[in-house]
Amino acid sequence: MKEILAVILAAGKGTRMKSDRAKVLHEVFYRPMLHHVLDAVTAAGIQDMAVIVGHQREEVISSLSAYQVTPVLQEEQLGTGHAVLCGEKHCDRAELVMILCGDTPLIRPETLRAMIDAHLQSEATVTLMTTRLDDPFGYGRIITDTDGSILEIVEQKDATPEQRCITEINAGIYLADREFLFQALKQVGTDNSQGEVYLTDIIGIARHQGKKVHTFLHPVAIDVLGVNSRVELAQAHQELQMRRNRELMLSGVTMYGPETISIAPGIDVGRDTVIHPGVQVTGRAEIGSGCIIHSGVMIHDAVLDDRAVIGAHAVLQNCRIEKSEHIPPLTLRVS
């Protein structure tokens, strides 16, 4: 398999978040959204990663301490194409470059692996991930010819009324031959409504040069959409929460009202445990087998041995509940 390096764009401020904090540092399901992207890339088998930083770069770089990544500074935010160009020298050892945005915490490793396989099988120069939306407002539209082959990507602000009716949109994930990618980006101008270097322009350049462009249409739109507002942040959190709860239920845990239950990643829950609505479990917690946790319980850094029963609205922190012990409702146990 060809050597792949991932470039993750994390330099922007994210003005629609209405926040003084860098967008990629906002937490989704207990972790910065950038971390979810890095985990997906790693799980897809890509070990080399460059993270493009800019706004609040010290804080973003500090958040990366647990990852083997190379931070790359984009001094001025002059567009996505410019951001990728900043990472050129760090891509020398790669044959292929995968480009992702740091605000797509719902991307799955299996989706990235499928995209890589499609790129290699098609022998394309560039593969672009797309999806379809009933309401594509704000996203770049995929312009195709009569045969359905992609011609270019037109951004929302540059699109004609007819083009804005197109429902196939750019998901913002690319896989490209390294030599072509940087040669093309150096040809991209700033003649657009934003005055920026658009990464999307490499598609038109590839077609003009007779290069093969492959579109990888992902059918589940939510997996690839970015988080640009507090509303979308909440939606992403809920999606990750439900993915986690589905895994737990399939492993033998009963949940009543799983959409209201939040079990942080990495927490073990034993088989035949029953969890009622409104329960939250965080930190270094552990729940044994056959436990019953009633509604509204909050557990943080606590261990429940097998068959423990926790009454409604109890709060447990930094403690251990012994095997078959019953905790009355409204109990506060902190040690």
Neighbour count for residue 276 (Cβ, 10 Å): 19
Q: How many CA atoms lie within 13 A of 320 on its CB side?
A: 4
| Catalytic residue of the set 16, 21, 113, 333 | 16
CA distance 112 to 218: 10
> Is 113 a known active-site residue?
no
> Residue 335: which residues within 8 A CB-CB, separation 6 or more?
317, 318, 319
DSSP 322: P
CA distance 64 to 146: 45
CA distance 328 to 335: 17
The neighbouring-strand residues paired with 141 are: 154, 169
Whole-angstrom CA distances from 258 to 241, 280, 291, 308 are: 9, 11, 16, 20
Question: Which residues are the active-site residues?
Answer: 16
